[in-house]
Amino acid sequence: GKSPSASALSGKPSRRRESCCWCRAAGRRRTAAPHPRCPRSACPLPSSASGGGGCGCFLQLCRHLGCVPNIWALHEWSNWLTPVDRSDPTTSLSFSFQSCCLYVLSADDTVVVFILQWSSPPEAIERFKSQEIWFPPPQFYEFCRLCNFSSLCELHKFSSDRALEGCERWMPVMLTASNGYIQLLPGDELYPEDPDYTGEKKIIMSTDKKIEDLMKEGSVFHRIVIKNINNLAVYVNIQAKYKHINPLTINSDCSDYNSKL
């Protein structure tokens, strides 16, 4: 269902720390003035040797520097649940994609982030196909969706306007075929009516058919086809909800299915 927009950061320390990591990339916003009662010695700036230990006095650091993480630059983009691991159902995670349009590049901190490289979505997908880099299916899906936008200004306008609608949380359901896998997403004709969110039902979807046969037989698609870890394709011909936009169909082989858009 539709996930409510978060009006405040979670109280859990791990999530606050994760948010701070993302906000670092989002830049900062100046406050009125540095706080006069927080001298530099009271809260030293984090360094590469500290391993991020400065998070313990994060508020004091913000007062001292007269700035805060620019969380207002983040716009809710999508929300995914990882498929349940049959061997350990507790490993299922919920994660959110946020869009943020930057005109000033960030720098790596040599502690958590060692290499930072900026690429356009088409460039990232090409590097994925050539096996220079790898990212999981949800990221591939979102890169294909970002390929709809030709400029940063266009993306910023769309994402900031659309974020007010919220978004639907998706849990991919894996269908095993004879020559690969299909991750089914909500709205696909093969997506189960009652998905197994906890792993308690121990439902395993499989077929002796090939992926090509399943694609030719189908007509309502919202799925990611996986031939191998670097051979993915997204097929969507349903209407996107909450004023979102469907991904472009980009795949890394030459197969052609009659029903793809």
Tokens of 220: 């309502």
Tokens of 113: 């982030």
Residue type, 45: L
What's the CA gap between 181 and 105, in Å, rounded? 37
At 1 the pLDDT is 47
What's the CA gap between 105 and 158, in Å, rounded? 21
What's the CA gap between 34 and 55, in Å, rounded? 18
Half-sphere exposure of 10 (CA within 13 A, CB side): 9
Q: What is the DSSP string of 56-77?
A: GGHHHHHHHHTEEE-GGG-EEE
If we measure between CA atoms, which residue out of 215, 200, 151, 203 comes closest to residue 173?
A: 203
Q: Are 175 and 64 in contact (CB under 8 A)?
A: no
If we measure between CA atoms, which residue out of 19, 145, 170 comes closest to residue 92?
A: 170
Q: Are 257 and 221 in contact (CB under 8 A)?
A: no
Residues in the chain where the model's pLDDT stays below 70: 1-56, 84-92, 103-114, 252-261
Residue with the two structure tokens 């996986």:
226
At 86 the pLDDT is 57
What's the CA gap between 225 and 214, in Å, rounded? 11
Q: Exposed (0-12), middle (13-18) or buried (19+): which is 15, by Cβ within 10 Å?
A: exposed
At 49 the pLDDT is 43
At 28 the pLDDT is 60
Sign of CA dihedral 109, 112, 116, 120: negative
Q: What is the pLDDT of residues 204-225, one digit of tens each?
A: 899 999 999 999 999 999 999 9
At 16 the pLDDT is 46
Q: What is the pTM of this model?
A: 0.73
Q: Are 50 and 16 in contact (CB under 8 A)?
A: no
What residues does each domain of the chain span? 12-72, 118-236
Q: Exposed (0-12), middle (13-18) or buried (19+): which is 91, by Cβ within 10 Å?
A: exposed
User: Cα dist. 209→193, 216, 253, 255 in Å?
Assistant: 22, 11, 19, 16
Number of neighbouring beta carbons within 10 Å of residue 194: 7
